[in-house]
Amino acid sequence: MKLERLVKPYYDALEEGKVLARRCLECGAIEFPPHYACNKCGYHATEWVELSGHGWLKTIILPAPTTDDARLKPYGRYGFGEVEFDEGVTTNVVIYGITPKKRKVLRERIANGEKVGVHKKIVDLGGYKGLHFELDEGE
């Protein structure tokens, strides 16, 4: 195979507000974050695809003394959780707009089958950008 950079283009795209992933050339699964091969089916080749940066919140964990990340403080209250991208891939991310009270309400709504939307919030983590999320409905 051809030697190709995937990590640098991923971060370069975040600088422009875009979220890049790969798509499996055999099974079509989205590979996020971007890697050469498909981790769903084990096929060796993928191609670039741009994601919408929108998804659905599945779970919420609150930060606590052993898990809080001080770098995120400037961007507001947040939680950790699983987000399923509109394109079908699920990953563990940071979601802004989560407070203990909000978590309780959102958990019940998700348990009742409601889809809680989130969208990309690209934050500066000290010389580079990271892909985080925020609630569509705000805090």
Partner 1 sequence: MEYNSMTHSRIGRYSRSVSIFGVGATPFMDINDDPELEGLTEGEVFGCAAISAMEDAGIEPRDVQYFYHCSANPAFFNNCVTPNMQVAEWMGMRGRGSVHHSEACCSGYVGLEQAVMAVASGTYDIVLSGGAEMATGLPDGTKPACFRRRITTDDIYPDLVKIGDRAYARSIIGGMNVGSDNWLDLYVRTYGLTDKEIDDTLNQMSYNGRRAAALNPLALMRTPFEDLAKEVGIDDPMEYLRSPYNPKVSQYLRVTGNAPAADGAAAVIVAPTEMAHLFKTKPIEILGIGASCLEFAVPQLEMQATREATRQVYEMTGVKPEEIDLLLINDFMLGSQLLAAEEVGYLPRGEGWKYVLEGRTAFDGDKPINSSGGRTSYGHAFGASGMADVYEAVIQMRGEAGAHQVKKTPKTTFLRGFGGGQNVRAIILRTAE
- Chain positions contacting partner 1, by CB under 8 A: 7, 10-11, 29, 33, 39-42, 58-59, 61-69, 72, 80-82, 84, 89-94, 107, 111, 125, 128-132
Task: Pick one of Zn ion, partner 1, none as the site partner of residue 43 (Cβ within 5 to 8 A by kind).
Answer: Zn ion
- Give Cβ neighbours of residue 35 (< 8 Å, ≥ 6 apart): 6, 22, 46
Binding flag, residue 25, Zn ion (CB under 5 A): no
Binding flag, residue 43, Zn ion (CB under 5 A): yes
User: Shortest gap between Cβ of 41 and Zn ion (angstroms)?
Assistant: 3
The span from the CA of 139 to the CA of 137, in Å, is 7
Tokens representing 12? 């370069």
Binding flag, residue 105, Zn ion (CB under 5 A): no
Binding flag, residue 30, Zn ion (CB under 5 A): no
Binding-site residue total for Zn ion (CB under 5 A)?
Answer: 7
Residue 45: other Cβ atoms inside 10 A: 13
Query: What is the arrangement of strands in the sheet containing 46-51, beginning at the earlier edge strand?
Result: 30-31, 19-24, 46-51
Binding flag, residue 125, Zn ion (CB under 5 A): no
Q: In sequence order, what E strands does 64-107 have? A: 78-85, 90-96
